[in-house]
Structure 1
Amino acid sequence: MSRRRMIYEGKAKILYEGPEPGTLIQYFKDDATAFNAEKKAVLDGKGVLNNRISEFIMTRLGAVGIPNHFIKRINMREQLIRKVEIIPLEVIVRNVAAGTMSKRLGIAEGETLPRAIVEFCYKKDELGDPLVSEEHIAAFGWASPQELDDIISLALRINDFMSGLFAAVGIRLVDFKLEFGRHFEGDMVRTILADEISPDSCRLWDLVTNEKLDKDRFRRDLGGVTEAYAEVARRLGIIKESAQGGEVVDFSSAGK
């Protein structure tokens, strides 16, 4: 990695220049952050699990016609992705009241919403990624009307697919965050899914017990963060179990 040119470093990932024009290498770190990076930790193996889970989901979304930046997984921590111009919005899809929605609206956590709700936050760390409306997006030109239509349509399609995917393995998709980018193909520009989809960016609860299998375990000091991520990977069939019932996942070569 020392010979590569770093393009960008975020809280949980690093982007490097890719081997071909129009590509990047996305590296998943073990760093965990919460509350706009006020809380930090390093959780061994988290980046490996997020890389594998995001690969699994992006691949399946691509197979059902959801355009995204994923090309292939290179190794335990890295993916080859398409270079995009990130639209400065976090797109949150909510199926169940939780987190900031429960606090803002006084809705009990765990209450199923009347329908899936799409919210937008302006990507600006120093402002705490504030909630914004479609009016703000249009007025400040963060996305065009067509891009916004595409984003909402894609977000709801992703929600339908992922809700079924997780329900099939006994997991409730409570809410999740998406990012989108502009992918330039000659004179054409296409809105595609970017970033990652993993327990870092989703709230995932066990369907029966409501046990949290996501980043809320870190936010709320519940412990067992990587174990919960590994359980998600196991249920999705990413991590195999040995004959003795243990999980077969090799972190020893994770940084190679």
Structure 2
Amino acid sequence: MTRKDPIGPEFYVPLGTAEKVSDVAFYLAAALSIIVLLVDKTTQPKLYQAIQATFALAVIGVFVCGIVIRTYFAARAHSGRIADFVSNAFSVPLVASPSEGYYNTSANDPFLRIGASVLENTLFTKSIVAKMLYFERSRIGIYVFVWLWAVLYRATDLDLLTVAAQVLFSEQLLSRWVRMEWLRSRVERLYDDLYALIQSNSDITSKEFRARVVEGLIRYETSKAQAGLSLSSRVFHKMNADLSQKWQSLSGQLGIAPSKSPGP
């Protein structure tokens, strides 16, 4: 089966680019906030003013990027993906160019297709986020250790400590790690719930099964939206083959007939 995913290049690639721009602006602002403390404004007033102006522009850039990402790029990407998801489940073209071979199940019942697709998505998401957390935990651990050492070391300048605290407790560092841990935990629970639901329920036409499947879809999508995180494409491509093989085995155990295309 041919695999085509127009949603990724059209919506998620611009989202990834916007997030990279936001990260660059953040780290530039963080670096300038420290550099400005090391410049003597009495002996080098022009350099000091230039750094201050650049720092102000970087801070504004971080703010603008955050607003644009949340209200436009992320919202547009999530809307496009869920529309494509529903199109696949009910075989109704809700988007101009629906994906082909992206969802690895050929179940005929639309609600079973939804349940199987969300289960596959949770398998990929929880595994990728868990892998991303190896780096994230190490990075946060180093930052926290250095900051605490600086706090306990009495010779550390108070202004430098304040700047370091602002960087550490920012949206891009400590908050990102907390949201990543929350998303991993949330998706892992949903994965277990959906697996148990599909495994134990023989009547896929019952109202209870369909209601729980829809509830699972809503839980998954709202969890992603609340976390506000994009999965690493590098980690995805690295783990894709193993996760696709694991999904083939898992779907076989559940009696879901998957297609032979790669995972999402």
Give the structure-1-normalised TM-score: 0.28
| Structure that is richer in strand per residue | 1
Structure with bigger RCO (C-alpha 8 Å, 6+ apart) = 2
Q: Which has the higher helix share?
A: 2
